[in-house]
Structure 1
Amino acid sequence: MKTATVREAQHHFSKLLKELEHGEEIVITRRGVSVGKLVPMEAEENPFTRRVDWSESIRRRNEVLGDLPQLQRNIVLEMREEERY
């Protein structure tokens, strides 16, 4: 288990997050006294490690757009992608 001072946590937060992602627990201290603990999330709770099954979404998209001619279908898909970003 790693320890970090409050100041270190403020200045190197992204580094601490990377260590959390690798399963490391971090105790935050102030003047040598423990004040908090950072623990990694369980894999099933962490949205960044969860795998997404896109097959249902793609199937529904193809169902909805299936009747459109290919050119119109591509235009609709491009417009959706532009809105997304």
Structure 2
Amino acid sequence: MPLKKGDKEVKVEMEFVKNRLIGLHIRMANRKTKKLTPAEREKIRKFVWTYQGEIKQKWEDFRAGKAIKMEKISREIK
């Protein structure tokens, strides 16, 4: 799942076991992208953990060939 904000872009890999999120890996999208600060990494982690159900459901719908609505998320996790 790619995430982009300003001049920073990362890829987030989510690891599930028996429908339960057990880990995630955050990587820079490419070498030209500026690195994340520790605070930015933590924001991404909180966001993904908070919305894991919706993210997983959209992925499953996509894999099943269902039309999915792309959604721009502008709210922040505190």
TM-score, L = length of structure 2: 0.27
**Higher helix fraction (1 or 2):** 1
**Higher strand fraction (1 or 2):** 2
- Which is higher, the Rg of structure 1 or of structure 2? 1
